[in-house]
Amino acid sequence: MIITLGGLAGAGKSTIKRLLAKSLQLKSYSMGDMRGEMAKARGITIDQLNDIGLNDPSTDNQVDEFQKTLGETQDNFVIDGWMSWYFIPHSQKIFLTVDPDIAAARIFADRHNNPSRSDEPEYADVEDTKKTLAARAAHNDTRYKKWYGASYLDLNNYDLVIDTTNLATEKVLKKILAFVAK
């Protein structure tokens, strides 16, 4: 079983990935963490790396090839990444969505509680976070359409879509476990 988790920033992809992997005793991978490490290695933020990626597809190539190879050579894992569904088309594709205000509040709190996230910019406040996240989503969608002709925001690409805005993490996990059990 391969589960790909896509979704909006702040929807809970990382948390759900970790809990799914534990519940199902699967390996897990995070493409966001991989790209974050790439940004840190260059001494830039993830948004700056994404800016470079608009004109230089090499910023995505390592992560994309990793996902593609993983999907072709392994089984039994959970992976979170905006384009994981695209590179592993035979996976069970799940998208987590969230209200932008809630997402911004979650990420702002996480950034202030976890200052080691140097791949993320410093946010002035929740409203600044919301604007940055909206710009990032649009930017990434433009980049992916340019290089792959595909939109990670098109919900038709997924087998299951869950709005996490008003759902406890346990309920999101329960919905996904019921879905993959089918």
Q: Report if residue 6 sits inside a domain.
A: yes
The neighbour count for residue 141, using CB atoms within 10 Å, is 16
Q: Convert the pLDDT of each residue in 26-70 to its tens digit.
A: 999 999 889 988 998 999 888 888 889 888 988 889 899 999 999
Predicted confidence band at 158 (pLDDT cuts at 50, 70, 90)?
A: very high
Is residue 182, in this structure, part of any structural domain at all?
Answer: no
What is the value of pTM for the model shown? 0.89
Model confidence band, residue 118 (pLDDT cutoffs 50, 70, 90):
low
The whole domain housing 51 covers 2-177
Count the neighbouring beta carbons within 10 Å of the beta carbon of residue 105.
Answer: 15
Cα distances (Å, whole numbers) of residue 140 to 8, 33, 136, 145:
11, 16, 6, 8
Q: How many domains does the chain have?
A: 1
The rounded Cα 108 to chain-centroid distance in angstroms is 17
Answer with the residue of higher pLDDT: 140 or 162. 162
Residue 95 identity: F
Q: Among the listed ranges 105-119, 125-139, 146-160, which one has the minimum average pLDDT value? A: 105-119
In a domain, residue 78? The reply is yes
Residue type, 122: E
pLDDT number for residue 3: 98
What percent of the chain stands above pLDDT 70? 96
We report the CATH number of the domain holding residue 137 as: 3.40.50.300
- The pLDDT of residue 71 is 97
Residue 88, in any domain of the structure: yes
